[in-house]
Structure 1
């Protein structure tokens, strides 16, 4: 069974990641592990033994808080919980804690909200961006205002490089959800066109998976993000899929362009990012 590590900082905004993971699990059998990274520093003169006892009691409180937090989201969604766990893990740095736990325990995906709240707001946003950039485990970044909605259609944004291998992963994710896939590609001026015959043959071989190719010329007056958002506004997909490090070009144009904000902070729909490494 595929496993999803769902992170939370207990903020109301972080509930979006939980809601999306629960929705995924309602459409396909996923095992959900709700995860909170915490750290308790010994800032007093407590002895090691006294601090260890204090830390244990605080960890028990955090575990109960996580259990109640997750239960409240299930209750609000009117969904009966199954195949779920609630785990807390101590580490100084939340992002590396999440990443290492997911990798060591062989999770299929990490699911995280794109924004926290209060004092966690900046840290949580940074965690999302850092996970997307460095995690070997694919990351699902969920907008903080996401509400329960059936996953019916997915945009897969691609530069058409390594399309066949990437499409296999896309289909593996979307097929159990019975969701249609729209491959989105933007043509740039003077860009070498990918072999049309090869793409046509690939589309024909996957014709039973409800996939269509959407190609349009890039509007150079706007950022790539704006071009993508325009298509999202028109197509209204349930989520979007991208791959990192596509020869350090397409992904970087979206995520690290000096002319645009990081998409993980502005996404209007949940976004699944596969790391090519």
Structure 2
């Protein structure tokens, strides 16, 4: 049983991420928790709070949240009437990151799937603040779906790595089980000025081979000092369907996750982006 958390702000981008999720996991028995954290909505209009009172505004926002969540479930079942899938709604007077973390821990969520941008759809940023916050602070893998991305089977996946991260079996198994129904090829891309691996790197590489054994792995090396540009070029030249990176302390993803650096380096990711979190959960 796969457990998936889908945060929503009721935007088209959020619903598009949900559609991608049900398509991606159409072969798996899955539970989808569709969540709306509405605390920010309560305080969005201070004049209304002064006029109606905090309690009344909170009740109104809460009821509206519940109704819209029910509508989403109806719409997604119409879009994909899959007997393998069940849906649950979560409406909470909380902020997104805190509520996401609560549900991840309570339900032992395997994966969060969300749009890279929400209601504002700011074209000057790549991810959007909510997606960035979830990737940075919630201890769960996050699959971010770009704006207006049309579902494509993930047949060619790029996984850049320096082989220095102590990978977690649960995280790699998630990727394995997601990719194997599509007979996906996973390119493990080592970007370095040297092709030589240390003993530690070789051990981590062997762990990847053992854990991703259901998939065809291709171990690639690109001699370069420009990590971000190399990834972007590789995606375009090799028709990559999904990018996978691991977010942990001192990782490449940690280095680029700050929005200013993403903008500065022009990491214009227009394919689904899976951020593994190097979890301690087993």
Q: Shorter-chain TM-score category?
A: 0.7 to 0.9
* Cα distance in 2, alignment partners of residues 33 and 233 from structure 1: 33
Tell me if the contact between 1:114 and 1:128 (Cα under 8 Å) persists in the aligned partners. Answer: yes
Partner of 2:50: 44
Q: Is 1:231 aligned with 2:234?
A: yes
* Cα distance in 2, alignment partners of residues 66 and 264 from structure 1: 35
* Cα distance in 2, alignment partners of residues 132 and 166 from structure 1: 17
Q: Is 1:105 aligned with 2:110?
A: no
Give the 5 Å matches for 1:161-176: 161-162=164-165, 165-166=167-168, 169-175=171-177
Count residues in correspondence: 264
The structural deviation recorded for 1:264 is 11
Runs of 4+ in 1 over 6 A off after TM superposition: 119-122, 262-265
Q: Secondary structure at the match of 1:44?
A: helix
Could you report, residue by residue, the CA deviation over 1:61-116 in whole angstroms, capped at 9, with x for unpaired residues?
321212223433454xx42153112221111x322222333223321111111111
Q: Secondary structure at the match of 2:148?
A: coil
Unaligned runs of 5+ in 1: none
2:71 pairs with 55, 68, 71, which one?
68
TM-score (norm 1): 0.79
Unaligned runs of 5+ in 2: none
Give the 5 Å matches for 1:5-44: 5-39=5-39, 40-41=42-43, 43-44=49-50
The structural deviation recorded for 1:238 is 2.5
2:87 pairs with 84, 98, 104, which one?
84
2:197 pairs with 174, 193, 198, which one?
193
Could you report, residue by residue, the CA deviation over 1:127-163 in whole angstroms, capped at 9, with x for unpaired residues?
1111111111111111112112223232222111146
Provide closer, same or farther for how the CA distance between residues 236 and 27 of structure 1 changes in structure 2, counting only shifts above 3 A: farther
Tell me if the contact between 1:4 and 1:30 (Cα under 8 Å) persists in the aligned partners. Answer: yes
Give the 5 Å matches for 1:181-260: 181-188=186-193, 193-195=197-199, 198=203, 205=210, 209-218=215-224, 220=225, 223-245=226-248, 247-256=249-258, 260=262
Q: Secondary structure at the match of 2:104?
A: helix
Root-mean-square deviation (Å):
3.3
Provide closer, same or farther for how the CA distance between residues 120 and 63 of structure 1 changes in structure 2, counting only shifts above 3 A: farther
